[in-house]
Amino acid sequence: MMAKIESAACLGIHAYRVEIEVDVSHGLPQMVVVGLPDPSVKESKERVRSAIKNSGFRFPPEKITINLAPADVKKEGPAFDLPIALGILAASGVIEADQLKNHIFLGELALDGSLRPFKGAVVIAAGLKNNYSFVFPVKNAREGCLEKEAVIYPVNTLQEVIQFLKGEKQIEPLRSSNFSPSSTISKSNEGGKDFSEVKGQFFAKRALEIAVAGGHNLLMIGPPGSGKTMLASRIHTILPPLSFEESLAITKIYSVAGLTEDYGLIQNRPFRSPHHSISQVALAGGGSWPKPGEISLSHGGVLFLDEFPEFRRDVLEALRSPLEEGEITISRIKTQITYPARFLLVAAMNPCPCGYLSDRQKTCRCSLGQIQKYQSKISGPIVDRMDLHVEVPSSTLQTLTSEEAAENSETIRQRIIQCREIQAARYPDRLFKVNAFMRARDIKQFARPDSEGRKLIEMAMKELRLSARAYYKIFKIARTIADLAESENISSEHLAEAIQYRSLDRQWWG
């Protein structure tokens, strides 16, 4: 006898339907899985066999053929255990085909028949909720119903699924009605870090505020111990809150990667800080079954690259297109997977191998050749995409021991929230909502300086020999500075401040 059962899988953050056909026929007892399954699907045979027996059903001692369709997409993961088991029980007459209709089944089986969660539940719910309801392990059911209007039956064991399908047990579906899609998610400051702990460093803090407010990438340069890592590890405390839609978009990426915490909604903007030994695949995403990389796990948040010149060049090159496009496409022989990757890039480095070039207290021991070699590592396309360059000098003992209270993170964050609102109102029907993504024609429309400002920028162009790219960046940064000051006009003061954040144009590449 034959049975068909519906299941699903994720391709990136999109869902597709997988149909599972099970045929039980006379012949030597054996179980064959066809249709491009991954080894983890093949292993499901043993789990399914034990789970069926241990749930009190008879495992048919016959020839069982299982086909996963469409056959041209590779199927990954143990989540097909449940539909395969149900298919076998349907094909051997335990349940009727009708009882399986309009449901999508997924879940990994333990040998005793209990169900374990799988990756990507919220993505599958989002993609297929219009035509199906879902039978998911309890944990996934909670995650799946983050998606509005999805109907999900939470189950614990294979036996419970059978009782439910036969009508012997009522299960109340979970619905997402208690979530309002436009509600703003509050953000907690975990770890208790705060900008008030950083003494002095007003210039760097101001640059970080501008960077976060307008979405401008930032590079910090300074000697060892000057507080670059300390500053960066507090960025998350000034990030604006996420809307529900943004939270959901981030949760989908984490769900597919199997990284959601207890299958709930991700409510904080990500802050990712990969080590400089990271591979290109781990940073950009990929693998035989393309997983999201650090750049996608930073979507909506911050990617911090500490010790920037230590990253491999090919790894940094992989950042180029996502920095432009806000997403990354990973190509495989038959498929292409696109993951979102719109993040704020923050990097930190020493100015030279020993770290003390231009330090006020210690002298640099590096040769000119060493310095040039070191700095050339970060030259080119990636540094070109750094909007703000900030020098972070070492602090004096007097600053470090001062008792003067510094501004706390929440005060800075409130200014950023306000500034983001101003920007969102300026770009009501654009995909982008921050100044960093203005194109040349937007700059003409929204970031025109007054005549005094124009004179200033012309002079700066000549004196500092700024590139065309730097020229546009200065306008975008000045727009954010003006927005932070709640000023409609961009004044020469705003521009003068913006020019200060282009120290690399002046020093090394001028």
Ligand X SMILES: Nc1ncnc2c1ncn2[C@@H]1O[C@H](COP(=O)(O)OP(=O)(O)OP(=O)(O)O)[C@@H](O)[C@H]1O
Instruction: Determine if residue 471 is left, alpha or beta; phi over 0 gives left, psi from -120 to 50 gives alpha, anything else beta.
Output: alpha
Binding positions for ligand X, 395-414, rule CB under 6 A: 395, 400
CB of 223 to Mg ion, least distance (A): 10
Rounded least distance, CB 191 to ligand X, Å: 14
Residue 229, interface with Mg ion (CB under 5 A)?
yes
Near ligand X by CB under 6 A, which window of 65-73, 160-168, 225-233, 263-271?
Answer: 225-233
Of the residues 47, 75, 119, 228, which one makes contact with ligand X according to CB under 6 A: 228
3-state helix, strand, coil in the chain (%, to 5): 40, 20, 40
Stretch 189-228: interaction string toward Mg ion, x if CB under 5 A: ----------------------------------------
- How many chain residues are in contact with ligand X, going by CB under 6 A? 16
For ligand X, which stretch binds (CB under 6 A), given 183-191, 206-214, 224-232, 280-288?
224-232
Residue among 71, 350, 335, 399 nearest 222 (CA): 350
Shortest separation between residue 237's beta carbon and ligand X, angstroms: 15
Q: Which residues, 354 to 383, sit near ligand X by CB under 6 A?
A: 355
Rounded to whole angstroms, the Cα distance separating 373 from 370 reads: 5
- Residue placing its CB nearer to Zn ion in the complex, 354 or 390: 354
Name the one residue in this structure whose structure tokens are 């000045």.
478
Smallest gap, in angstroms, from Cβ of residue 394 to ligand X?
A: 7
Neighbouring CB atoms inside 10 A of 26's CB total 6
Binding mask 339-368 for Zn ion (x = CB under 5 A): -------------x-x--x------x-x--
Under the criterion CB under 6 A, does residue 227 sit at the interface with ligand X?
Answer: yes
Do 391 and 355 meet the contact criterion of CB atoms below 8 Å apart?
no
Which partner in Zn ion, Mg ion, ligand X, none is near 201 (CB below 5 to 8 A by kind)? ligand X
Calpha distance 192→190 (Å, rounded): 5
Site string for Zn ion, 365-384 (x = CB under 5 A): -x------------------
- In the numeric block, the tokens 């005793």 are attached to 112
Query: Applying CB under 6 A, does 200 fall inside the site for ligand X?
Result: yes
φ and ψ at residue 82, rounded to 5 degrees: -65, -50
Whether cis (ω within 30° of 0) applies to the bond prior to 70 is yes
Q: How far is the CB of 278 from ligand X (least distance, A)?
A: 17
The nearest distance, CB 306 to Mg ion, in angstroms, is 5
Inter-CA distances, 45 with 20, 33, 37, 42, 85, Å: 14, 8, 12, 6, 9
**Does the footprint of Mg ion cover residue 233 (CB under 5 A)?**
no
Q: Where are the alpha helices (DSSP H) in 166-310?
A: 202-214, 228-232, 244-256, 280-284, 294-297
How do strand 291-292 and strand 285-286 relate by DSSP bridges?
A: antiparallel
The least CB distance from residue 357 to Mg ion, in Å, is: 16
Q: Which stretch binds ligand X (CB under 6 A): 40-48, 228-236, 270-278, 317-325?
A: 228-236
C-alpha angle 263-267-273 in degrees, rounded to nearest 5 = 95
Min separation Cβ 381 and ligand X, Å: 24
Window contacting ligand X (CB under 6 A); options: 122-130, 219-227, 245-253, 363-371:
219-227
Q: Which does 107 bind (CB under 5 to 8 A by kind): ligand X, Mg ion, Zn ion, none?
A: none
Q: Which does 364 bind (CB under 5 to 8 A by kind): Mg ion, Zn ion, ligand X, none?
A: Zn ion
Which CB atom, from 221 or from 318, has the smaller least distance to ligand X? 221
Alpha carbon distance 67, 4 (integer Å): 10
Per-residue interface string for the shown chain with ligand X, residues 229-258, x marking contact by CB under 6 A: xx----------------------------
Residue 216 near residue 480 (C-beta atoms within 8 A): yes
Residue closer to ligand X (CB basis): 11 or 221: 221
Q: Which is nearer to Mg ion, 220 or 482 (CB)?
A: 220
Q: Which does 222 bind (CB under 5 to 8 A by kind): Mg ion, ligand X, Zn ion, none?
A: ligand X
What is the rounded CA–CA span in Å between residue 5 and residue 88? 10
**DSSP one-letter code for 239:** P
Report the alpha-carbon distance of residue 268 to residue 381 in Å, rounded: 30
User: Residue 467 corresponds to which amino acid?
Assistant: S
> What angle do the packed helices 409-426 and 202-214 form, to 10 degrees?
40
Q: Which residue has the tokens 């340069």?
A: 221
Residue 145 near which of Zn ion, Mg ion, ligand X, none (CB within 5-8 Å, type-dependent)? none
Q: Which of 13, 20, 19, 44 is nearest to 116 (CA)?
A: 44
Helix, strand or coil, per DSSP, at residue 303: strand
Structure tokens at 108: 């990994």
Instruction: Please identify which residue in 67, 350, 435, 500 interacts with ligand X, judged by CB under 6 A.
Output: 350
* Interacting residue ranges for ligand X, rule: CB under 6 A: 198-201, 222, 224-230, 350, 355, 395, 400
* Interacting residue ranges for Zn ion, rule: CB under 5 A: 352, 354, 357, 364, 366
* Interacting residue ranges for Mg ion, rule: CB under 5 A: 229
